[in-house]
Amino acid sequence: MNRGSSSRNRGSDEQNIDLTPMLDVVFIMLIFFIVTATFIKLPGVDVVRPGANSSISLKPSMLVAIDSDSVIWINREKIETKFLRTSIAALYADNPKGALVITADEDAKVKEIALVADAAKEVGVELVQISSEEG
């Protein structure tokens, strides 16, 4: 009688499925996708972009906005010109292969646009472009 009850216990042990290895794999995949994902930091201000006769479409990884009052915005924060190079360096450190796109309002001063472009080149950003409306 004792023999029959032990065989019953072994059968129920064999039917249990251990999900721990599967959960380990899922968590490792989740961490991999989070680490390798590229996040675009939005500048935080809406601008009216000037029109252009020709344009190309690209996916920027670094965005800098300049509003109509020529205030520079990065990651929803106003940036003073003395901290501009440091802020762009932080963006560049997050994504060293990315392109920097300057989204300037049509009433923004060219001086501010040139400051942003020069600061990006000093940091080492290879591709700096100015965003425009198609048309």
Residue 27 has pLDDT above 90, yes or no: yes
Cβ–Cβ under 8 Å, residues 29 and 87: no
Cβ–Cβ under 8 Å, residues 91 and 102: no
Q: Which residue has the higher pLDDT, 22 or 133?
A: 22
> What are the tokens at 113?
């646009």
Indicate the domain borders of the chain.
Answer: 2-36, 51-134
- What amino acid is encoded at 46 in this protein? D
Residue 58 has pLDDT above 70, yes or no: no
Mean pLDDT of the region 70-82 = 86
Supply the pLDDT for residue 57. 59
Task: Quickly name the fold that domain 51-134 has.
Answer: Nucleotidyltransferase; domain 5 (3.30.420)
Burial class of residue 97 in the structure, from the number of CB atoms within 10 Å of its CB (0-12 exposed, 13-18 middle, 19+ buried): exposed
Supply the pLDDT for residue 9. 55
Supply the pLDDT for residue 26. 93
Supply the pLDDT for residue 93. 87
Q: Is the pTM of this model over 0.75?
A: no
Confidence of residue 25 (pLDDT cuts 50, 70, 90): very high
Confidence of residue 29 (pLDDT cuts 50, 70, 90): very high
Count other Cβ atoms within 10 Å, centred on residue 43. 22
